[in-house]
Amino acid sequence: MSANETALATRAEPDRERARTTGRAHVVLPAFNEETALPVLLERLAEAALTEELTVWVVDDGSSDRSAAVAEAGFGGLDVRVVRHAVNLGLGRAVQTGLRAALEKAQDDDIVVVMDADDTHDPGLIRRLREEIAGGADVAICSRFVPGGDDRTAPPVRRLLSRGAAGLFRHALAVEGVRDFTSGYRAYRATLLARASAHWGERLIEEQGFACMVELLLKLRHCSPVIAEVPLALRYDRKQGPSKLKLRRTLGQYLKLLVRDRLSPAPYRKL
């Protein structure tokens, strides 16, 4: 039995939250200057919407290009909604804004998916993520570091950072079932996010950069979630334009987050 199967088996007690997972997928796309990538990605999401019930939330994080206009133009019959930041606030705030917008409309049986807006993630995996949550997971992560995963198209420095961070967090943090802590492509049970959001409010995501994905996992672990991973073949060769990841800054954010997690008390009540 795999680690994921064991985790699911140990959490097989009746739970109304886990009984309904056939609803809509709310796809959150944090976007900063993705005018070139968005049309291609929206087309691929429209193809996925032929068999999946999707609402796409594009969070335009103060882009200086036509990202918002491209998203508002949509693609075919795809349900695209745009939320704008007047200025660039960073990935963390964009994810937070997207999650809040999605949760305002989500039903209890819906899922919320976060993925990159640069067309490096395959929308076809939304079905796999939904299946994992339908099978009992609360969080499903598209992972580069499980059998079938692949990050070879990413630049060497980015691969080194992702793999190093994965090793560090796996040994330093008690989050069962996670190998790829920094993956930006995940699905969450809407009711799980709603519980966490009700507790932390605006503090659900405090990190501004790429460390926000790790921070959200660390806070959700206080809800005792079942976490599953599915293989992700990262398509960095599809990326248009330069990377927005700043190596030194991101390393500092990861280390600061690790220290803060060690020093922060657990929630004062069960979530």
pLDDT by 10s per residue, the chain, length 271: 444 444 434 343 334 344 445 689 999 999 999 999 999 999 999 999 999 999 999 999 999 999 999 999 978 889 999 999 999 999 999 999 999 999 999 999 999 999 999 999 999 999 999 999 999 999 999 999 999 999 998 888 778 878 877 777 887 776 888 999 989 999 999 999 999 999 999 999 998 888 899 999 999 998 999 999 999 999 988 887 666 556 667 777 777 777 777 657 667 566 7
Q: Name the DSSP class of 71.
A: H
**Domain 3-260 indexed as CATH 1.20.1050.140:** no
Number of neighbouring beta carbons within 10 Å of residue 112: 25
Q: Which amino acid is at 124?
A: G
The pair of three-digit structure tokens given for residue 100, joined into one six-digit string: 């809040």
pLDDT of residue 248: 67
- Crossing angle, helix 212-220 and helix 247-263, to 10 degrees? 20
The H helix count followed by the E strand count for the chain is 10, 7
CA dist list (Å): 189 to 3, 9, 12: 20, 18, 16
Nearest-5° Cα angle at 54, 175 to 44: 95
Q: Name the DSSP class of 94.
A: H
HSE at residue 244, side-chain half, CA atoms within 13 A, is 18
Backbone angles phi, psi at 239, to 5 degrees: -65, 135
pLDDT of residue 242: 63
Backbone angles phi, psi at 195, to 5 degrees: -65, -45
d(CA 160, CA 79): 37
Question: Would you kindly state where each structural domain of the chain is located, as residue ranges?
Answer: 3-260
| pTM of this structure | 0.86
In tens, the pLDDT along 12-58 reads 333 434 444 568 999 999 999 999 999 999 999 999 999 999 999 99
pLDDT of residue 22: 66
d(CA 114, CA 124): 14
